[in-house]
């Protein structure tokens, strides 16, 4: 008898986030767990990252994060941040705000876009979160970004010609504008095909339920 290959479903997910945002890190960590559960059921999950800057136009000189938070938002913001870090340890996130470096993320988003063209965006995004919030690395620094890119296997496109940095910059600026026109004013936001957008660091159960719903309504092939 001929064997039948099981039909597969691909769920498409777009995630708006910023890699200096702890809520994005928490939401993405929960999403990965939910997506892995769906993948274990034989479904495919395709992820696209939408860039968002928490601090548009911020410089990349790099300053210790906690003093910046205190200067901008006050001492209570620092205390709340440190309390939040303790709470998130239960989620398996090791956060070291005392090491974290305040920086703009335009160049990090440029690198994520390049990683996406090479099928390595998910690995790079996780590494950038961990670099910023756990390792205390300056992810606005070009040398640091190059090292992290090499670590996860992101190369200069195909190597046949120099990267057109001007074109990359223009594409990223246009995409940042487009994401804001989608109504994104805070992150994370999860756009799962066929399901209403989910805002904030949703529980894993809610993300899994949304993925299951999308898989149910997505035609198999």
Structural domains in the chain, CATH included, are 10-217 (3.40.30.10)
d(CA 166, CA 201): 34
Contact present, 128 and 163 (Cβ < 8 Å): no
State the pLDDT at residue 190. 98
Q: How far is it, in rounded angstroms, from Cα 29 to Cα 33?
A: 7
pLDDT at position 163 is: 78
The CA distance from 94 to 90, in Å, is 9
The confidence score (pLDDT) of residue 75 equals 96
pTM beyond 0.85: the answer is: yes
Q: What pLDDT, on a 0 to 100 scale, did the predictor assign at position 158?
A: 57
What is the pLDDT, as a whole number, of residue 209? 98
Integer angstrom CA distances of residue 89 from 11, 82, 85, 207: 30, 11, 7, 20
HEC readout, the chain:
CCCCCCCCCEEEEEEEECCCCHHHHHHHHHHHHHHHHHHHCCCEEEEEEEECCCCCCCCCCCEEHHHHHHHHHCHHHHHHHHHHHHHHHHHCCCCCCCCCEECCCHHHHHHHHHHHHCCCHHHHHHHHHHHHHCCCCCCCCHHHHHHHHHHHCCCCCCCCCCCCHHHHHHHHHHHHHHHHHCCCCCCCEEEECCCCCEECCCCHHHHHHHHHHHHHHCCCC
Question: pLDDT at position 2, please?
Answer: 46
pLDDT in tens, the chain (221 residues): 444 434 568 999 999 999 999 999 999 999 999 999 999 999 999 999 999 999 998 999 999 999 999 999 999 999 999 998 998 999 999 999 999 999 999 999 999 999 999 999 999 999 999 999 999 999 999 999 999 999 999 998 656 567 788 999 999 999 999 999 999 999 999 999 999 999 999 999 999 999 999 999 876 55
pLDDT given at position 160: 55
């Amino acid at each position: 008898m001929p064997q039948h290959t099981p039909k597969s479903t691909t769920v498409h997910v777009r995630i708006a986030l910023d890699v200096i945002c702890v809520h994005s890190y928490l939401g993405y960590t929960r999403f990965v767990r939910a997506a892995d559960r769906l993948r274990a059921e034989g479904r495919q999950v395709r992820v696209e990252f939408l860039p968002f800057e928490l601090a548009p136009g911020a410089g990349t000189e790099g300053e210790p994060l906690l003093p910046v938070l205190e200067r901008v938002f006050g001492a209570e913001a620092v205390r709340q941040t440190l309390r939040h870090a303790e709470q998130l340890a239960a989620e398996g996130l090791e956060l070291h705000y005392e090491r974290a470096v305040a920086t703009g993320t335009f160049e990090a988003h440029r690198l994520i876009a390049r990683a996406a063209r090479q099928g390595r965006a998910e690995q790079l995004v996780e590494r950038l979160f961990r670099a910023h919030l756990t390792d205390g690395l300056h992810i606005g620094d070009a040398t640091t970004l190059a090292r992290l890119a090499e670590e996860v296997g992101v190369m200069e496109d195909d190597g046949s010609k120099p990267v057109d940095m001007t074109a990359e910059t223009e594409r990223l600026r246009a995409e940042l504008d487009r994401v804001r026109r989608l109504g994104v004013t805070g992150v994370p936001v999860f756009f799962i095909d066929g399901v209403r957008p989910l805002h904030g660091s949703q529980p894993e159960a809610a993300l899994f339920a949304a993925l299951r719903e999308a898989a149910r309504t997505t035609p198999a092939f």
